[in-house]
Amino acid sequence: MNGVIALYKERGMTGHDCISQLRKILHTKKVGHTGTLDPNVDGVLPICIGQATKISELLMQSGKVYRGAITLGLAYDSEDLDGNLIEKVPIETPLDSKTIDQTLAQLTGDILQTPPMYSAVKVNGHKLYEYARKGITVHREPRPIHIDYFRQLKPATYDSDAQTQTIYFEVGCSKGTYVRTLAVDFGRLLDKPSVMSDLTRIKSGGFDISQCSTLEEVRMAMDRDQLASVLHPLTEALANYPVYQLDESRWQIVSHGGFLDQSICPQNAAVVRLDYQNNVKALYQFDEKVGQYRPFRMFIA
């Protein structure tokens, strides 16, 4: 039982909730997720099973794509609707589409982002949300992130009764990006309070939402002995790496953790996937000091 389940995480659940339930469904402890997803956010959460737990960190490094909404005129201490309302300013004149596009564009490329107080980032040995729950605000160092794109999905809507405006967006971003903070920074650029009012992750770890299975679908597949229908093999999870097919002699070297020369990858890629008899056996990483490829991740067991 080795591979990745592209889980559709429902709202109201934490990543740890998903892990706990999958361990019971699959009857295995070798289950690991590829990063967190807030309880009020739904969408793609790749879950690594068996030998695939060795690539959890690699999948976490991949870019992510989200779709959601920003509401102008309201601010919450958590930067989403789960927290407490801390500011309300009427939006008397809604923004036009051009202004929205220009403001979103200002938040693209390589930028610095300050982690929100309601996050798991640690400062002085304590998670920021632990300080936040006590009403304490601490200094946070801005972190570099990359935003591939930040664009509107459809025309914004204006609520004349509430005097708020909602912008609908899609964002492609690097690991470590807080989308709710992007929503707040969007409003800050316009000198208006804002909040992330909706969010769904539609791509993560190389999997998109169309490939996802719910916990119930995984449970049904397990009961019917059809787990392969929801478990993506390592060949798929590691499809972006150049592949070298091992012959018998080189397989013997790899099976004992030996080094391989550069001839296995003419492209001189930093990491190469090694397959033997149509099964992924290892990822090898180029070591410049010795001029050879050495073990990086092994899937021999």
Rounded (to 5) percent helix, strand, coil in the chain: 25, 35, 35
Secondary structure in 3-state letters for 169-190 = EEEEECCCCCHHHHHHHHHHHC
Active-site residue, 17 included: no
2 CB-side CA count, 13 A:
17
Phi-psi sector, 234: left (phi>0), alpha (psi -120 to 50), beta: alpha
Rounded-to-integer distance, Cα 78 and Cα 74, Å: 12
CA torsion sign, 220 to 223 to 229 to 233? Answer: positive
State whether residue 211 is helix, strand or coil.
helix
Are residues 280 and 299 in contact, defined by beta-carbon separation less than 8 angstroms? Answer: yes
- Look at residues 29, 33, 60, 64 and name the one whose alpha carbon lies nearest to residue 48: 33
Closest by Cα among 21, 139, 135 to 83: 135
**Residue 271: exposure state from Cβ atoms within 10 A (0-12, 13-18, ≥19):** middle
Instruction: Name the active-site residue from 17, 38, 101, 185.
Output: 38
Q: In whole angstroms, give the CA distance from residue 78 to residue 183.
A: 12
Closest CA to 41 of 64, 59, 62: 64
Active site residues: 38
